[in-house]
């Protein structure tokens, strides 16, 4: 695997009589890592426990292309079968146009490997028609269309099938997941009150704008963030495969059942997370929580409690929409187009009521200073979340609007934006993707009578140039939700207030 792109690796083996006693060894060429080099131990034991005799000869194995690093245990099964075929222990007629992808247990069982879906998609593109995987990987493997998936439980079953002594039943895909408003997603109907926060949530969803919520404990920040995916549009087929492949790389379908992820994912990592866990990396340069939230929501709760350098690692990916994991010999890229939601208490002591706070102003400033200014400047809107009233919580008469109508408004606003930019010959889909210079170009520049509030903030250095551009993007989204052809002065004022987090005076 190179990021989310699978590469077909050919395993070759040559078995020949040793020229001297004690020279019976397995020599591997190509660029196998330590896990691949240890595969010979797993293969020897698996064959012994399956009543199969490992060749008492010299064995040379090559992983091709030799210039490509081969990592992990996914080649175990291919290694075992290739060695047996090279020693004429197995017929190879049934292996034409077949890919083998599984780890071998010492008892000969076939075990799951991460990244089965993107790996088999690459095999399918290369023209292979059949895949042999572990039972645990059968569910996600069956998501690859026009490919026969066989999942023997162990090496003995596979050998019997290759000899024509038994048949293996092809695996079938499970039902796909539902739409963005599926019942299993948390719904906005669970909320009580919070009209301003709900409106901000809808604007963030419609334009893909990053969001920062500040409020006391129990005010509903986490509930709001968790319900954001329910108003995002369902993923297209291509997006679903892309997102599911990322989750496959993290081994999230190891239980056997798998389905295409059709709704926007939601990731809420803990504040103790490292840069590698958040951005990606590690020994095999795997995807982190940021990539797993691709096409969905990345929720950073208690943001000031995070280490500053960990949060700052988000800055470049938020701008580019992808995360680069660099290694000594290669660079792996993962898609990372996320809607970032930050949440924080208003002060370190975090009282239930603001009047109970005794934090000095300096403590509050230092508390929010843990979130760097460059990162805060990349957040499109800020909302102060107030605790819902007791009457809103206790009353049986209060009904909150569910996610479905909000999702319809979001979808309609997104469609208006996509049509507008498509008619202009651009590839942007969301207002958040439009570059600032384009919005300030003669074609899209708004009159001073409309941008007066934002212009004044820029002249008084209350906002940066990036902040000015993000106010314009927010204004276009607000106009799309309000069904305005172009943003009005009221739309700009609303966008500026959302950007600053307070009413402009």
Q: Are residues 125 and 197 in the same domain?
A: no
Q: Are residues 229 and 150 in the same domain?
A: no
Q: Are residues 93 and 238 in the same domain?
A: no
Can you give the pLDDT at residue 412? 98
Can you give the pLDDT at residue 181? 39
Can you give the pLDDT at residue 205? 98
Can you give the pLDDT at residue 418? 96
Can you give the pLDDT at residue 122? 92
Q: Are residues 304 and 391 in the same domain?
A: yes
User: 370, 386, 404: which is the final residue of a domain?
Assistant: 404
pLDDT, mean over the chain: 89
* Domain assignment of residue 444, yes or no: no
* Domain assignment of residue 486, yes or no: no
Q: What is the pTM of this model?
A: 0.87
Q: Which of 62-76, 151-165, 249-263 comes out lowest in average pLDDT?
A: 249-263
Which H helix or E strand runs over 266?
strand 266-267
Average pLDDT over residues 409-428: 95
Can you give the pLDDT at residue 362? 87
The residue among 324 and 23 whose pLDDT is bigger is: 324
Q: Which of 123-127, 162-166, 393-397 comes out lowest in average pLDDT?
A: 393-397
Q: Are residues 129 and 199 in the same domain?
A: no
Can you give the pLDDT at residue 163? 95
The residue among 480 and 252 whose pLDDT is bigger is: 480
Q: Are residues 101 and 63 in the same domain?
A: yes
User: pLDDT per residue over 230-250, tens digit each?
Assistant: 999 999 989 999 999 999 888
* 3-class SS of residue 268: coil
Can you give the pLDDT at residue 186? 92
Q: Are residues 246 and 156 in the same domain?
A: no
The closest of 289, 282, 365 to 325, measured between CA atoms, is 282
* Domain assignment of residue 219, yes or no: yes
Total number of domains constituting the chain: 2
Q: Are residues 258 and 303 in the same domain?
A: yes
User: pLDDT per residue over 451-500, tens digit each?
Assistant: 999 999 999 999 999 999 999 999 999 999 999 999 999 999 999 999 99
Q: Are residues 194 and 321 in the same domain?
A: yes
Residue 20 is encoded by which pair of tokens? Answer: 């001297």
Q: Which of 18-22, 135-139, 207-211 comes out lowest in average pLDDT?
A: 18-22
Question: Given a cut of 80, is residue 389 above it in pLDDT?
Answer: no
Q: How far apart are CA 261 and CA 63, in angstroms?
A: 33
Can you give the pLDDT at residue 502? 57
User: pLDDT per residue over 87-106, tens digit each?
Assistant: 999 999 999 999 999 999 99
Q: How far apart are CA 342 and CA 314, in angstroms?
A: 12
* Domain assignment of residue 363, yes or no: yes
Confidence class for position 180, pLDDT limits 50, 70, 90: very low
Q: How far apart are CA 434 and CA 421, in angstroms?
A: 9
Q: Are residues 28 and 137 in the same domain?
A: yes
Can you give the pLDDT at residue 176? 43
* Domain assignment of residue 352, yes or no: yes
Q: Are residues 233 and 274 in the same domain?
A: yes
Can you give the pLDDT at residue 394? 73
Q: Please state, for a pLDDT cut of 70, what percent of the chain lies above it.
A: 92
Question: Given a cut of 60, is residue 326 above it in pLDDT?
Answer: yes
The DSSP letter of residue 447 is: P
Can you give the pLDDT at residue 400? 82
Q: How far apart are CA 489 and CA 496, in angstroms?
A: 10
Looking up tokens 């993107």 gives 118
Secondary structure (DSSP) of 483-499: T-SS--HHHHHHHHHHH
* Domain assignment of residue 180, yes or no: no
* 462 exposure class (CB count in 10 Å sphere: 0-12, 13-18, 19+): middle
Can you give the pLDDT at residue 179? 37
Q: Are residues 158 and 201 in the same domain?
A: no
What is the CA 329 to chain-centroid distance, rounded?
24
Average pLDDT over residues 259-286: 87
* 229 exposure class (CB count in 10 Å sphere: 0-12, 13-18, 19+): buried
Can you give the pLDDT at residue 386? 86
Question: Given a cut of 60, is residue 183 above it in pLDDT?
Answer: no
* Domain assignment of residue 178, yes or no: no
Q: What is the CATH classification number for the domain harbouring 339?
A: 3.40.50.300
CB distance 304 to 331 below 8 Å = no
Question: Given a cut of 50, is residue 177 above it in pLDDT?
Answer: no
Q: What ranges in 25-147 are assigned the alpha helix state H?
A: 34-37, 39-48, 76-86, 116-125, 138-141
Q: What is the CATH classification number for the domain harbouring 112?
A: 3.30.230.10
Confidence class for position 6, pLDDT limits 50, 70, 90: confident
Can you give the pLDDT at residue 327? 67
Q: Which domain holds residue 79?
A: 10-162
Confidence class for position 259, pLDDT limits 50, 70, 90: confident
The residues, any chain, with a CB within 8 Å of residue 324's CB and separated by 6 or more, are 331, 332, 333
User: 378, 404, 430: which is the final residue of a domain?
Assistant: 404
User: 345, 373, 404: which is the final residue of a domain?
Assistant: 404
* Domain assignment of residue 458, yes or no: no
């Amino acid at each position: 695997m190179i990021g989310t792109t699978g590469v077909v690796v050919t395993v070759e083996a040559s078995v020949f009589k040793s020229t001297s006693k004690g020279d019976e060894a397995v020599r591997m060429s190509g660029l196998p890592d330590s896990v691949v080099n240890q595969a010979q131990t797993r293969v020897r034991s698996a064959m012994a426990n399956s009543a199969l005799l490992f060749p008492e000869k010299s064995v040379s194995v090559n992983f091709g292309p030799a210039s490509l690093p081969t990592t992990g245990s996914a080649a175990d099964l291919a290694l075992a079968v290739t060695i047996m075929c090279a020693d004429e222990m197995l017929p190879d007629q049934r292996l034409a146009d077949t890919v083998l992808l599984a780890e071998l247990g010492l008892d000969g069982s076939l075990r799951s490997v991460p990244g089965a879906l993107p790996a088999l998609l690459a095999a399918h593109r290369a023209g292979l028609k059949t895949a042999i995987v572990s039972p645990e990987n059968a569910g996600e493997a069956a998501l690859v269309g026009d490919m026969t998936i066989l999942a023997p439980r162990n090496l003995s079953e596979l050998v019997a099938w290759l000899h024509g002594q038994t048949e293996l039943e092809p695996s079938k895909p499970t039902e796909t997941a539902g739409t963005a408003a599926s019942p299993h997603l948390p719904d906005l109907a669970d909320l009580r009150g919070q009209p301003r926060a709900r409106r901000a949530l809808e604007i963030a969803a419609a334009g893909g704008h990053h969001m920062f919520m500040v409020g006391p404990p129990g005010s509903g920040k986490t509930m709001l963030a968790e319900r954001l995916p329910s108003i995002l549009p369902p993923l297209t087929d291509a997006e679903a495969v892309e997102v599911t492949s990322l989750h496959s790389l993290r081994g999230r379908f190891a239980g056997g059942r798998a389905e295409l992820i059709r709704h926007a994912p939601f990731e809420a990592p803990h504040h103790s997370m490292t840069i590698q866990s958040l951005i990606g990396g590690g020994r095999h340069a795997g995807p982190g929580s940021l990539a797993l939230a691709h096409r969905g929501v990345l929720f950073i709760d208690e943001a000031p409690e995070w280490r500053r350098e960990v949060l700052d690692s988000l800055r470049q990916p938020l701008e580019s929409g992808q995360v680069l994991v660099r290694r000594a010999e290669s660079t792996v890229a993962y898609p990372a187009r996320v809607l970032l939601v930050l949440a924080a208490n208003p002060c370190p002591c975090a009282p239930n009521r603001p009047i109970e706070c005794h934090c000095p102003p300096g403590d509050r400033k230092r508390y929010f200073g843990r979130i760097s200014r460059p990162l805060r400047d990349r957040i499109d809107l800020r909302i102060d979340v107030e605790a819902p009233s007791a009457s809103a919580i206790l009353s049986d008469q209060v009904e909150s609007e569910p996610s479905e109508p909000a999702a319809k408004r979001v979808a309609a606003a997104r469609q208006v934006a996509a049509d507008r930019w498509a008619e202009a010959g651009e590839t942007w889909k969301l207002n958040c993707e439009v570059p600032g210079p384009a919005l300030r170009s003669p074609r899209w520049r708004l009159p001073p009578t409309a941008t007066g509030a934002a212009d004044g903030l820029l002249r008084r250095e209350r906002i940066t140039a990036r902040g000015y551009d993000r106010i314009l993007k927010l204004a276009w989204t607000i106009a799309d939700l309000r069904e305005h052809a172009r943003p009005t002065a009221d739309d700009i004022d609303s966008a500026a207030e959302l950007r600053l987090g307070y009413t402009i005076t």
